Copies of this chain bind each other. A is one copy, B any other.
Amino acid sequence: MAFTAKQIADFLKGEIVGNPDITVSNFSKIEEGKTGTISFLANPKYTPYIYTTEADIVLVNSDFVPEKPVKATLIKVPNAYAALASLLEMVNSANPRKTGHEEMSFISPAATLGEEVYVGAFAYISENVQVGDSSTIHPHVYIGENVKIGKNCILYPGAKIYRDCVIGDRCIIHAGAVIGADGFGYSKESESYHKIPQMGNVLIEEDVEIGANTTIDRAVMGSTIIRRGVKLDNLIQIAHNCEIGEHTAMAAQVGIAGSTKIGENCVFGGQVGIGGHITIGKNSQIGAQSGIISNTKEGSEVMGSPAMPVKTFFKSSIIVPKLPDMYKQLSALEKEIAELKKRLEQGS
């Protein structure tokens, strides 16, 4: 399916700089651009490629002014990345969605499935499960008793939802994610551990996306809560009784210990660790690999383990490799001062 620059610009309400009749039939990254494709420029780091790319059309931000001649036809839009997203979505939505229940799936007679639901082979749907209209349950998905799944959800192959959990509309759960496994709770009795039954559940609101092999534990009582619009990358651990605020996004391999509350609109880099029973204020930005062991205020920008303001972190990081020299310098100064004192005393 090919589109002209004009058709694309019309769809995006953008402005063409170049040939309105040139056609493209696929997407490419600007540094790997090929004839017949459309690309985009959003990250300034990639600006040099716009002068060399073989892509025939490039989406750029309205304020982009080339410093050299550009071979590609440009389409100027307010936000090149968002425009790309719209285009990708338009093409993606042309893919037909599967419906119907494949043989060799297990659907409890006591489960309630909405209309236009797809259930793949080897999916397991337990008693009293509810699945909303137009949701997609891929092969090998497990849904435990009493689970409620909203409308227009996608559960990718091998996602596992333990009993009693609740998932809102338009959620996407990727392959291998585990929702509602037991929280890590024991009471210590002399030398051994005694398991605390985890009687709560996980409550996921609408428009949440959960990455592959991410694990979200059920609450010991009450709910572990993932608020609407939250985006979790792969291999993340959310412990029991946590609450993740609306529209917070976390990169891969983050770990959040038990009963911690994360505010809304936070952004976490990868491999961050947050201690238990902590509160992270809304609109916080936590740098990759940070370790947080105390509450942080609204709008914090921190990094390091333990975390400090991000500017302080980078300034201190520059000094760390100089520590051996500082240590020697300090000893040398100490000797010099001792000698100066001696001379001063002898001189007096």
Contacts and interface: CB of A to CB of B under 8 A. Distances in A.
15 contacts: A27-B199, A29-B219, A104-B104, A106-B139, A140-B140, A140-B142, A156-B162, A192-B229, A193-B249, A217-B234, A239-B252, A253-B273, A316-B321, A336-B337, A340-B340
Contacts of A347: 344, 347-348
B252 A255 contact: yes
Interface in A283-298: 288-289, 291, 293
A27 B333 CA distance: 60
Contact of A175 (B79, B160, B259): B160
B197 A181 contact: no
Nearest to A176: B178
A162 B175 contact: yes
Given A121-B124, A305-B305, 13 more contacts: A29-B222, A45-B277, A82-B194, A85-B194, A89-B195, A92-B199, A106-B139, A140-B142, A156-B160, A174-B182, A184-B211, A233-B237, A322-B327
Contacts of A174: 178, 181-182
Contact of A121 (B92, B106, B158, B221): B106
Interface string A50-94: 000000000000000000000000000001011011001101100
Interface string A232-274: 0111010101000011010111010101000001000011010
